[in-house]
Structure 1
């Protein structure tokens, strides 16, 4: 996108048609996914519908399948807006449309099924990479711009769209790109977003400096990463006043000169410790700051905001995440913070379990089965975190299983970006391997998921391993 709108006129035309259908509806049921991208997709769409005076209700689904779509149809809304899912389930949705159950409007970025519908807003239909250039929240944002009226400017919703894109891991090398860059530009023009080059460590707003460095393990620096005493010693040796009132300051509390001194010392330590130059360069990246949010809070930085959101809907509290997205503070924000503390504890315990138990290696992939030890709504996040640990081979995609119920397994897969560049597409792997054993799946090339019958794990793995071999050799 640019300040003038979407990069492809046909995308704008499709968004306008979807907006017109929504305006004409007697009432809209907005159904969305439960991750950070799904929550922000719903929030962007809900805010835009409210501003356009379109009556609507919001529901969330962990997975969109025949049962959940049937439940949506039972709500008897004449129009259903699906955000951050729906494209991959078009065949099922089309059957309900043909039966007159509802008219679907879809704002999604996942791989579409064979069927189609008139009101289908998906970047993949218009030559835009939905895995890297426009997220579900981005598709909702395009729709929100189309819903604008004479006195309505929805560019402030770009902030949430960027939170969704970052939550969906679209800020790879060099930050957001493609259509996402246009959304960033619109957010900057609206005064709600700031883009900058900064230290590329998670927790710049909220973590005390020793914790910021200790937990920064994407670029491992010996004597600092995973070393509390080492991080404190490193900071104490700097000629800087890094404490205030006896407490460690945060990155956000430092001025430009202090930040430069710290970064220079960090780079020098990395060089002297033998960290490869390419990895050292990864210490600096693009940051996105939400200008309307309070400095030093989880909501100020898009990465921290997206993590906060993941801690709500994945624990059956999508209402809390949506409320925070739509501007509620006070009690909803405190509840989100409580959920975040629990989320972090669960992730830490899950990652430690994977490190202790290890993974099973096949010819072309590796996997672990957490059973009921890791919650099925976060097993994919744990798998992604495990990719950077010594227990996992970075040259193979990782597949994680968790118990969904007595009869089904949840499957989550994550792949290294360099394998994606060589042809790996986990959305195809998850989709085809799951359907071969009576399940269903999909997603993106770098991250995808599926649900399969509980007794079909081995057959699924065999099919997935063969598909990966065909893609990357």
Structure 2
């Protein structure tokens, strides 16, 4: 086996790869967010190249019913990507009954059970919430499955990085830990570039005034959420920032023009009293997929991940997977239409939360969107709302949305600052939901659960108590 990007996982990855090679056929089951889609795409590419027959299914949440449906298929081997670890106790029961052999490539907190073919960074002292995503784990497995062609599957590093960024593992300005080995392999394979740049979202597709106006992570008075102010700022730079009467995009600028705009933006932030740590976050590492067309959502990994979220979260995982696997015609057109709808829903959802506000408990803050925000995106909206007026950055935020069939979806978001103080939302969601007859899990910084309708108040009380104990 060639040297892998994450040495600690090599032996387990090889064992998992051998099991897949021995299978007559494989059912590939994956999650529906950007990390889940890229996890599936990496695994699907590797299985196809290795000549292993497989079918693919996606699920919003892997629960007992979903696992039972998987067990009812004709596949003797099931490869779970970007979920499975948190459900190992249920999976192990089906394995013990001889219904299928599981291979789990995941990065979420494991349940109190295990299986022979379990590839998870948390088992090897690597943080799955910040150092290796689900797509990264799939990539480690793909490298173990390589057949001596296509750069040893190193070209798949591009999708693994999209998954990591989609999982917000670059929230401190760059990917780090085990992710760095994947970035290095992607650069070596010629499919990825990593350069210091502005961290603003939309550098490939948004006209410059919109790029600055919508840059909400670092709020600069007179520019953020101010279209006229953004135009005035750009007009004052003495640069030719329009072409044929239309505003250029960041991707259209020369290195010198970018430096001029970035320097002026930092000076404005300093003059406006923006805290130094927020100003520093304006600049970080940008990851670019060099084989994709400049000015498209696929060129920048952040925009690519958002495009993917706009597919599977609206029941079109097939579209997102097709884009990941290289369809640049029909699937990409459909994905872009879904993206426009996704952006509108996020904007409307965020505005609703700002208008309604949140309820603040001693240790957490929460809102109940009911049917106003789709349950597949309520977690994204919750994360976007943190820092808005009346919504604190110092407490985790918990969001509820109707799921149907007497169930409620819960999503929780924290910060790496809080996890360093002891916050573990995975444990909080799991324990609080089970206390009211539901179930949940995830990462320390972001997690989710499903609970019975009518149990919100009891759940909030329980999660508030648990988070209070975690934060001391």
Considering the TM-score relative to the shorter chain, is it more than 0.5? Answer: yes
Q: What is residue 4 of structure 1 aligned with on the other side?
A: 3
Report the count of equivalent residues.
470
How many angstroms does 1:4 deviate by?
A: 3.4
How many angstroms does 1:470 deviate by?
A: 0.3
Q: Within 1, Cα distance between the matches of 2:361 and 2:400?
A: 15
Q: What is residue 207 of structure 1 aligned with on the other side?
A: 206
| Structure 2: runs of 5 or more not aligned | none
How many angstroms does 1:406 deviate by?
A: 3.6
Question: Is residue 162 from structure 1 mapped to residue 161 from structure 2 by the alignment?
Answer: yes
- Comparing 221-230 and 271-280, the one that deviates more: 271-280
CA deviation string 1:64-110 (max 9, x = no partner): 00000011111121000000000000011001111111100000000
Do 1:76 and 1:101's aligned partners in 2 also have CA atoms closer than 8 Å? no
Aligned-partner SS, 1:82: strand
How many angstroms does 1:416 deviate by?
A: 2.3
Q: What is residue 403 of structure 1 aligned with on the other side?
A: 402
Q: What is residue 18 of structure 1 aligned with on the other side?
A: 16
Q: Within 1, Cα distance between the matches of 2:230 and 2:149?
A: 52
Q: What is residue 300 of structure 1 aligned with on the other side?
A: 299
Q: What is residue 147 of structure 1 aligned with on the other side?
A: 145
Show structure 1 runs of 4+ deviating over 2 A: 6-9
CA deviation string 1:269-296 (max 9, x = no partner): 1112111222111111110000110011
How many angstroms does 1:8 deviate by?
A: 3.5
Query: 121, 126, 132: which is aligned to 1:123?
Result: 121
Query: 109, 113, 124: which is aligned to 2:111?
Result: 113
Aligned-partner SS, 1:116: coil
Q: What is residue 28 of structure 2 aligned with on the other side?
A: 30
Do 1:8 and 1:126's aligned partners in 2 also have CA atoms closer than 8 Å? no
| CA RMSD across the alignment | 0.9
Do 1:6 and 1:142's aligned partners in 2 also have CA atoms closer than 8 Å? yes
Q: What is residue 270 of structure 2 aligned with on the other side?
A: 271
Q: What is residue 194 of structure 1 aligned with on the other side?
A: 193
How many angstroms does 1:13 deviate by?
A: 0.8
Q: Within 2, Cα distance between the matches of 1:7 and 1:451?
A: 33
How many angstroms does 1:21 deviate by?
A: 0.7
TM-score (norm 1): 0.98
Q: What is residue 96 of structure 2 aligned with on the other side?
A: 98
Query: 35, 56, 59: which is aligned to 1:58?
Result: 56
How many angstroms does 1:242 deviate by?
A: 0.3
Q: What is residue 67 of structure 1 aligned with on the other side?
A: 65
Do 2:35 and 2:134's aligned partners in 1 also have CA atoms closer than 8 Å? yes
Q: What is residue 380 of structure 1 aligned with on the other side?
A: 379
Q: What is residue 288 of structure 2 aligned with on the other side?
A: 289
Do 2:62 and 2:84's aligned partners in 1 also have CA atoms closer than 8 Å? yes
Q: What is residue 89 of structure 1 aligned with on the other side?
A: 87
Do 2:29 and 2:80's aligned partners in 1 also have CA atoms closer than 8 Å? yes
Q: Within 2, Cα distance between the matches of 1:119 and 1:141?
A: 16
Query: 42, 47, 65: which is aligned to 2:45?
Result: 47
CA deviation string 1:12-47 (max 9, x = no partner): 111111111111111100000000000000000000
Q: Within 1, Cα distance between the matches of 2:243 and 2:323?
A: 30
Q: What is residue 413 of structure 2 aligned with on the other side?
A: 414
Q: What is residue 222 of structure 1 aligned with on the other side?
A: 221
Question: Is residue 257 from structure 1 mapped to residue 217 from structure 2 by the alignment?
Answer: no
Q: Within 1, Cα distance between the matches of 2:390 and 2:53?
A: 50
Aligned-partner SS, 2:372: coil
Aligned-partner SS, 1:404: strand
Aligned-partner SS, 2:175: coil
Q: Within 2, Cα distance between the matches of 1:6 and 1:98?
A: 33
Do 2:4 and 2:144's aligned partners in 1 also have CA atoms closer than 8 Å? no
Question: Is residue 339 from structure 1 mapped to residue 322 from structure 2 by the alignment?
Answer: no
Q: What is residue 394 of structure 1 aligned with on the other side?
A: 393
Question: Is residue 172 from structure 1 mapped to residue 171 from structure 2 by the alignment?
Answer: yes
Question: Is residue 242 from structure 1 mapped to residue 209 from structure 2 by the alignment?
Answer: no
Q: What is residue 433 of structure 1 aligned with on the other side?
A: 432
| Structure 1: runs of 5 or more not aligned | none
How many angstroms does 1:261 deviate by?
A: 0.9
Aligned-partner SS, 1:47: helix
